[in-house]
Amino acid sequence: MMKERVKRCALLFAGIIAFVACSGILFPEQLSVLTSSKDVVSERVLIPGGQSVGLQMNVKGALIVGVENDTGPQVGDMIIAVNGRKVDSPDDVDKIVSDSGDTVELTVVRDRENLNYRVKPYYDKSSGAYRLGLWIKEKIAGIGTLSFYDPKTNKFASLGHGIYEAETGILLETRSGKLLNTRVNQIKAGEKGTPGELGGVIYDFQNPLGTIEKNTEFGLYGSADDAQDFDLSKPIIMAARSQVEEGDAYILTTIDGTKVERFDIEITRVRHQNHAEGKGMEFEVTDKKLLKTCGGIVQGMSGSPIIQNNRLVGAVTHVFVNNPKKGYGIFAEFMVEECDK
């Protein structure tokens, strides 16, 4: 297996602010607020995240990420058929190749064009099976941060950015996957030019938090297994992107065990975006504890909710490689839109 990596310096980082909770509080489907003379925005009530989560994902399709010989197919090609039979996973490819034992015809997609190659498998004595001499992406695993849970739809969101194949830069499609409980047990602090990293242990595999349904440019999304796994006593209202402003804010994330903590930041720039994009805001960590412990933003914090004026305004997505005190965030509004699709 080729070493799994996460594209760029994307961080797994989550958190959310607690909205004022009352005993027996209800979750209204919508609250309307006038944000300008022209806009009326529907507000969503969400449950903030911030806890570290394990991400296990089976990749959809048969993406080539390495070649042993010059057989024709290239890194980045997606195998869609073997001997004219459609394939949806590496297991499908292996089965057809093993049953053939002779030259097989591969149909691959490259730059939206279908290409056919004849490849002669070789017999691998160690496994007792025929091989193509191609490395095919099968699974990916890592640690990230939960952004929010939506009690209205029973959906969750995490990361705030997509997971890409490291060698090809291709956004991976998910065939299936699980969101799992994780305990943070080590920290590598970030330095200028060297991103830091959170380390953790995934536990309680038999009771996942939810099922990952899609990996998109704006994060991982899926359905929760049990609403009681989330702190329903601390709802928060989502802010429209027009309500986000420069100034004080904070994030929720986990840097010790399973404890979600609040860390202060300052939003230094808000970008005007008319459609869903990443990096909608820039911020700088001002919290002394987070700076001392982690040096700022580190890998593993992507998805951490950003709270301002008692509203969920976004989630952390990336760190400045040359200055770990600074990072980027995506607007919460775009993540909610993606969650609803």
Alpha-carbon gap, residue 199 to 210, rounded angstroms: 21
Residue 4 has a pLDDT of 38
Among candidate residues 323, 19, 62, 334, the one with its CA nearest the CA of residue 196: 323
Residue 338 has a pLDDT of 93
**Tokens for 334?**
């775009």
Residue 99's CB is within 10 A of a number of other CB atoms, namely 11
Q: With contact defined as beta carbons under 8 Å apart, do 198 and 298 qualify?
A: yes
Given a cut of 70, is residue 233 above it in pLDDT? yes
Q: What's the pTM value of the predicted model, to 2 decimals?
A: 0.80
Question: What backbone phi and psi angles, to 5 degrees, belong to 147?
Answer: -90, -55
Q: Which residues contact 109 (CB under 8 A, 6 or more apart)?
A: 77, 78, 80, 115
Percent of the chain clearing pLDDT 90 (strictly above) = 50
Q: With contact defined as beta carbons under 8 Å apart, do 181 and 143 qualify?
A: no
Question: What backbone phi and psi angles, to 5 degrees, belong to 228?
Answer: -70, -10
Catalytic residue among 94, 150, 161, 318: 161
**Tokens for 297?**
């933003």
Residue at 307: amino acid letter = I
Give the pLDDT mean for 140-152. Answer: 93
In Å, what is the CA distance from 247 to each residue of 147, 215, 238, 301? 21, 31, 18, 21
Catalytic residue among 89, 158, 302, 304: 302
**Residue 111 is among the residues annotated as catalytic for this protein:** no
* Matching CATH number, 78-132, of 2.30.42.10, 3.60.15.30, 3.40.50.720, 3.90.1170.50: 2.30.42.10
> According to the 3-state scheme, what is the secondary structure of 80-148?
EEECCEECCCHHHHHHHHHHHCCCEEEEEEECCEEEEEEECCEEECCCCEEECCEEECCEEEEEEEEEE
Q: With contact defined as beta carbons under 8 Å apart, do 278 and 330 qualify?
A: yes
Which CATH architecture best describes the domain 31-58+139-340? Beta Barrel (2.40)
Interval 53-77: pLDDT, tens:
999 988 888 888 888 877 688 888 8
pLDDT tier at 140 (50, 70, 90 boundaries)?
A: confident
**Residue 287 is among the residues annotated as catalytic for this protein:** yes
Among candidate residues 275, 263, 214, the one with its CA nearest the CA of residue 15: 263
Give the pLDDT mean for 276-280. Answer: 90
Question: What backbone phi and psi angles, to 5 degrees, belong to 227?
Answer: -60, -25
pLDDT tier at 144 (50, 70, 90 boundaries)?
A: very high
Alpha helix locations (H) across 152-286? none
pLDDT tier at 238 (50, 70, 90 boundaries)?
A: very high
Alpha-carbon gap, residue 13 to 304, rounded angstroms: 4
Which residue, chain included where needed, has tokens 């949806």?
A: 88
Residue 246 has a pLDDT of 97
Interval 3-44: pLDDT, tens:
333 333 344 333 322 222 222 223 333 333 333 333 334 578
Residue 331 has a pLDDT of 97
Residue 251 has a pLDDT of 98
Among candidate residues 90, 98, 69, the one with its CA nearest the CA of residue 140: 90
Residue 101 has a pLDDT of 64
Mean pLDDT (the chain) is 83
Given a cut of 90, is residue 88 above it in pLDDT? no
Residue 27 has a pLDDT of 31
Given a cut of 90, is residue 255 above it in pLDDT? yes
Alpha-carbon gap, residue 332 to 326, rounded angstroms: 19
Give the pLDDT mean for 286-312. Answer: 96
Residue 173 has a pLDDT of 84
Q: Enumerate the CATH 2.40.10.10 domain ranges in the chain, comma separated.
A: 31-58+139-340
**Tokens for 147?**
């952004």
Among 111-125, 253-267, 302-316, where is mean pLDDT lowest? Answer: 111-125
Q: Enumerate the CATH 2.30.42.10 domain ranges in the chain, comma separated.
A: 78-132
Among candidate residues 157, 133, 151, the one with its CA nearest the CA of residue 55: 157
